[in-house]
Each structure stands twice: as structure tokens, then as C-alpha cells.
């Protein structure tokens, strides 16, 4: 039997939360996201060097490490930052446009990175059956430029909007 109740309470972390309660602002979130971005950039550089040197013994580990950090970053950004900005923040029209534009570009990059990772990691292992080092290097170079541009855009537009919500 289904029961519909608007004021249903949910127990989380030892306290009751009223459903519909505003999302929480996380003061350290921007620094955490910047740390993730720095790690993503560092992992991407190591990955690029491994591809340039044709180091297939280390490449699998580098790809998996990059994938792990990338997905952790996306989770934090989507769950905490975008959710808060969309549902709890009071934004003006320009800020809404900046958030939506930044998110659209981020989603586009995410789809490309996920396709890239899926093309070279099959069942958790490096797989070159359908490609080569040359195609990997070409894809990686294209993605690198977009990745850097996306992170710069987030730091310039998105992060300040979130930080201003604390005021």
C-alpha cells in the first residue's frame, strides 16, 4: 500500500530531516573542487606523458586513476554545487544563465570524457582492440584542451557564484 504524505520525515545521520528542507551550503566545497581539479590536471598530464612515451605497462593504471578522480569530482560538483545553486540559492538572471551555460559545457565534456574512457577501458582493463596509441593520443590531446577550458570557466564563473551565496 502506498501512503502519500507531504511532511514525511527522513532519518539521516542521527537526525530527522524534513523532506523539502533546503540544501546545505558547504563552506569548504570550492576549495575541495579546486583540489579535485588540480588532481585531475596532474593525472591528465601523467596520462599524456605515458601515451606519448607509449608506456602501455603504466597506462591502464593511469587511466583508471584519472577515471576515479574524474567521477569523484563530478559527484561532488553535481550533488553539492549544482543542486544547491539550482534549488536553494537566490540567483539573479545573469547568474542563472552563467550556471546553466557552465553546466551545459560541463555536461558536454563529461559525455566526451566518458566515451573516451569507455573506449579504452573495458571491464576495468586497458583495451586496444578497436584503437591504437595514435588514436588514443589524438583523443587525449583534443580532450585536454576542453578539460582545461572547462575547469577555468568553472573557476571564473561558477565558483564565485557559489561562494557569494555564503554572504
Q: Is residue 75 predicted with pLDDT exceeding 90?
A: yes
Question: Which class does domain 9-164 fall in?
Answer: mainly alpha
The 10s digit of each residue's pLDDT in 93-143 is 999 999 999 999 999 999 999 898 888 888 877 777 666 778 888 889 889
Domain ranges within the chain, ordered by starting residue: 9-164
DSSP 8-state code for residue 116? H
Say what the pTM is.
0.81
Look up residue 142 and give its three cell numbers: 583534443
How does residue 5 score in pLDDT terms, banded at 50, 70 and 90? very low
β-strand pairing of 121-122 with 9-12: unpaired
The CA distance from 21 to 31, in Å, is 25
Which residues make Cβ contacts (< 8 Å) with residue 137, sequence separation at least 6? Answer: 51, 52
The answer for residues whose C-beta is within 8 angstroms of residue 84's C-beta and 6 or more apart is 23, 24, 25, 26, 162, 165
Amino acid at each position: 500500500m502506498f501512503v502519500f504524505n507531504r511532511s514525511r520525515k527522513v532519518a539521516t545521520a542521527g537526525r530527522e530531516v524534513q523532506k523539502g528542507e533546503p540544501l546545505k551550503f558547504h563552506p569548504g566545497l570550492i576549495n575541495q573542487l579546486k583540489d579535485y581539479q588540480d588532481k585531475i590536471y596532474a593525472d591528465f598530464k601523467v596520462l599524456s606523458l605515458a601515451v606519448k612515451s607509449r608506456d602501455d605497462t603504466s597506462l591502464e593504471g593511469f587511466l583508471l586513476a584519472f577515471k576515479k578522480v574524474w567521477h569523484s569530482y563530478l559527484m561532488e560538483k553535481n550533488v553539492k554545487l549544482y543542486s544547491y545553486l539550482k534549488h536553494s540559492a537566490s540567483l539573479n538572471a545573469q547568474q542563472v544563465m552563467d550556471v546553466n551555460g557552465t553546466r551545459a559545457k560541463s555536461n558536454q565534456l563529461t559525455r566526451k570524457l566518458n566515451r573516451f574512457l569507455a573506449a579504452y577501458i573495458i571491464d576495468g582493463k586497458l583495451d586496444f582492440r578497436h584503437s591504437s596509441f595514435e588514436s588514443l593520443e589524438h583523443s587525449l590531446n583534443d580532450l585536454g584542451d576542453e578539460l582545461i577550458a572547462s575547469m577555468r570557466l568553472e573557476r571564473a564563473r561558477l565558483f564565485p557564484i557559489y561562494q557569494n551565496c555564503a554572504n
